[in-house]
C-alpha cells in the first residue's frame, strides 16, 4: 500500500468505492432525522466518523484525488458538488438564505473536506469525531444564526456515535 505509483484504475476504483461508502453513511445518518438542519448535523457527524474509521478512504477522497491530476480533480469536484447540493437544500428552509452568496455551499463543503484532508495527512484522523460539533456549528451558522447553530450542534456530541 506504500506504492506511490498506483495504476490509475486502482485510484478510480478506490475513489468510487470510498465515495459510495461515504454516500451510504451520510444517507443512513440523515434518514433518522426530521428537518434539514438535523439531517445536516447528522451527516457532518457521520462524515467525521467515516473519515476517522477509514482514513485510507478519506485520503483517497481528498488528498489522493487532488494529487491524481485531471481525473482526480474531476472526481473530487463530484464529491464537492454532491455535498454542496445537500447543503443547498437549506436555502429552501428560509427565504433570507437567498441573500447568501451562491458559493456558500461549495465553500462550506470545501472547507470541511480540507479539514478532513489535513487531519488525515497528519495522521490525526481519530480527532475528527471530536471536531464534529464545531464543524456542524460552522456549517449551519450562515443558515440558522450562531445561537441556533450552536444549539443544534450540541445535539451531536462525539460520544453519541450511532452504528447501523
Q: What is the CATH number of the domain that holds 33?
A: 1.10.357
DSSP state of 40: H
CA distance 143 to 130: 23
Domain assignment present for residue 15? The answer is yes
Distance (Å, rounded) from C-alpha 109 to C-alpha 107? 6
Question: Would you state the pLDDT for residue 101?
Answer: 87
CA-atom Rg of the chain in angstroms: 16
What per-residue confidence (pLDDT) applies to 80?
97
Residue 146 lies in a domain: yes
CA distance 28 to 77: 23
Q: How many domains does the chain have?
A: 1
pLDDT at 100: 83
Instruction: Give the per-residue pLDDT at 161.
Output: 42
- Cβ neighbors of 145 (< 8 A, separation 6 or more) are none
Residue 1 lies in a domain: no
Q: Is residue 158 part of a domain?
A: no
pLDDT at 118: 98
Q: Is residue 3 part of a domain?
A: no
Residues of the chain with pLDDT under 50: 1-4, 160-164
> Considering the domain boundaries, does residue 160 fall inside one?
no
Q: Please, are residues 151 and 83 in contact by the beta-carbon 8 Å criterion? A: no
Q: Which residues contact 55 (CB under 8 A, 6 or more apart)?
A: 120, 125
Asked whether residue 161 is assigned to any structural domain, the reply reads no
pLDDT at position 96: 57
Q: Count CA atoms closer than 13 A to 8's CA, side-chain side.
A: 7
pTM across the whole model: 0.87
pLDDT digits (tens, 9 = 90+) for 101-124: 889 999 999 999 999 999 999 999
Residue 30 is part of which domain span? 8-153
In a domain, 61, yes or no: yes
- What is the grid cell recorded at 46? 457521520
Amino acid at each position: 500500500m506504500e506504492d506511490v505509483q498506483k495504476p490509475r484504475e486502482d485510484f478510480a476504483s478506490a475513489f468510487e468505492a470510498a465515495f459510495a461508502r461515504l454516500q451510504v453513511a451520510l444517507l443512513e445518518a440523515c434518514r433518522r432525522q426530521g428537518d434539514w438542519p438535523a439531517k445536516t448535523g447528522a451527516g457532518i457527524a457521520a462524515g467525521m466518523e467515516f473519515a476517522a474509521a477509514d482514513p485510507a478512504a478519506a485520503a483517497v477522497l481528498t488528498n489522493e484525488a487532488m494529487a491524481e491530476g485531471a481525473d482526480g480533480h474531476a472526481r473530487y469536484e463530484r464529491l464537492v458538488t454532491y455535498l454542496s447540493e445537500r447543503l443547498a437544500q437549506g436555502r429552501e428552509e428560509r427565504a433570507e438564505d437567498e441573500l447568501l452568496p451562491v458559493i456558500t455551499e461549495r465553500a462550506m463543503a470545501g472547507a470541511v473536506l480540507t479539514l478532513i484532508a489535513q487531519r488525515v495527512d497528519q495522521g490525526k484522523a481519530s480527532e475528527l469525531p471530536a471536531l464534529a460539533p464545531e464543524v456542524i456549528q460552522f456549517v449551519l451558522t450562515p443558515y440558522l444564526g450562531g445561537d441556533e447553530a450552536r444549539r443544534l450542534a450540541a445535539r451531536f456530541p462525539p460520544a453519541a456515535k450511532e452504528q447501523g
